[in-house]
Amino acid sequence: MASLRPSSPWSCNLLAVALLGVAVLPALRASAAAPKKLLVVSVTKGFRHDGIPTTERVLQRLADESLAFTVDYARTDEELASKMTVKALAGYDGVVFASTTGELPLPDRQGFVDWVASGRAFVGIHSATDTYHEWPPFIQMIGGEFKTHGPQVKVALLVQDPAHPATKGMASPLEVFDEIYQYKSFERDRVQTLIALDKHPNEGTPGFYPLAWSRAHGKGRVFYTGLGHREDVLEAEWFRKHLLGGTLWALGLAN
């Protein structure tokens, strides 16, 4: 019977390397496939939307189904203080502002914006643009600022970029009944518009009315959607695909 013993020290070394590779490769694959970590912020200092718990549930469902990311939450001032220091943010790949409003008590506002610019993800949902009206660096990062809205209304959403993960496969026009924001501090050439209207949502006046966009902030990626006021919109399949695609894009997992 042939001996299983290596014939030389050199072959011993080769065998050791081979066995090491067998042991290490699965760990490397697991590491490469490790989900990204998202912090979902739902603190409000102005109007508080009833749909915030639904927004959190939708994000949790997207995380569970996609396995691409996990979600943690900052729902109180105390959690903001502990989870959004520059040191704590180093443990996350991105942050979601889930219908936040007002002047949030972040421990380091500039540190947060700089953290996004360093290569992290920022996702803003609905009234995220109704946050930090008094702090221009945030408005510049997110790409626009809430101005006003009229009564909830049925509109025809027009996809502006059908290749983007947030709008890929979305019907255009798509009829949706929701609360439709209008914006100020918006510069069209600073963003990639994803969804817009071609007339005023309530008055019908022809024009350009953006509703969702993406942009680069330094090395980071910003995705914002103004939709998602109503719970039935948040739970709609098209919106979940829209939000998932935008989130994956912001995390650098889809292009």
Q: pLDDT digit string (tens) for 212-243?
A: 999 999 999 999 999 999 999 999 999 999 99
Give me 139's structure tokens: 């408005």
Q: pLDDT digit string (tens) for 58-117?
A: 999 999 999 999 999 999 999 999 999 999 999 999 999 999 999 999 999 999 999 999
DSSP state letter for 148: E
Report the CATH number of the 35-146+210-250 domain: 3.40.50.880
Q: pLDDT tier at 3 (50, 70, 90 boundaries)? A: very low
Cβ neighbors of 4 (< 8 A, separation 6 or more) are none
pLDDT computed for residue 8 by the predictor: 46
CB atoms within 10 A of CB 99: 27
Report pTM.
0.88
Q: pLDDT digit string (tens) for 132-181?
A: 999 999 999 999 999 999 999 999 999 999 999 999 999 999 999 999 99
Of 65, 34, 49, the closest CA to residue 240 belongs to 65
